[in-house]
Amino acid sequence: MKKRIIYYLLVLMTVMSCKVDTSSKSVLLKIDLEPSSASNAKGTAIFTELNKIVSLDVKMQGLKPGTHGIHIHEKADCSATDASSAGGHWNPTFKPHGKWGSISCHKGDIGNLIANEDGNAMLSVDTAEWCIGCGDSTKDILGKSLIIHQDADDYVSQPSGNAGARIACSGIIR
């Protein structure tokens, strides 16, 4: 009996000495992109936040083969048939449109994804420039939308990269 009590005390002391890291909380958000502008484009996007890094993984189908712009827009509203209700590119820092990762670009300027001959495309991005539900208006992507465009983003034309019609849209909401 004495040995058993000592054993339980040792186990309890070991458990109590372990530190739990609560800073590595993971947040996961999956959205479905639906066709707009009479397209057949649809897909899914998964946003994951871990240790203050947001990862975005997009899988699309029904695209025309080639390059398509992908951006985060101002509002989680895809109700208009052409997705114009989503507003312009999300730009909380008031910078000119540009290429992802450059010093001068919108927070929503993700860039381009490339569809293969079957109309399928995938894209993965990691960034510390976004958060999911943190409340920081310059980083929080909740309440915005993710949009796939008909054409490539040229990274130069203002204010949106001349990427053409919005062919798939989803609100970034829980």
Catalytic residue numbers, as ranges = 71, 73, 89, 97, 106, 109, 149, 166
User: At residue 11, what are phi and psi to the nearest 5 degrees?
Assistant: -60, -45
Q: In what order do the strands lie in the sheet with 109-115?
A: 109-115, 66-73, 144-149, 166-172, 26-35, 42-50, 53-61, 121-127
**Residue 108 one-letter amino acid:** G
DSSP notation for 83-120: SGGG-SB--TT-PPP--TTSSS--TTEEEEEEE-TTS-
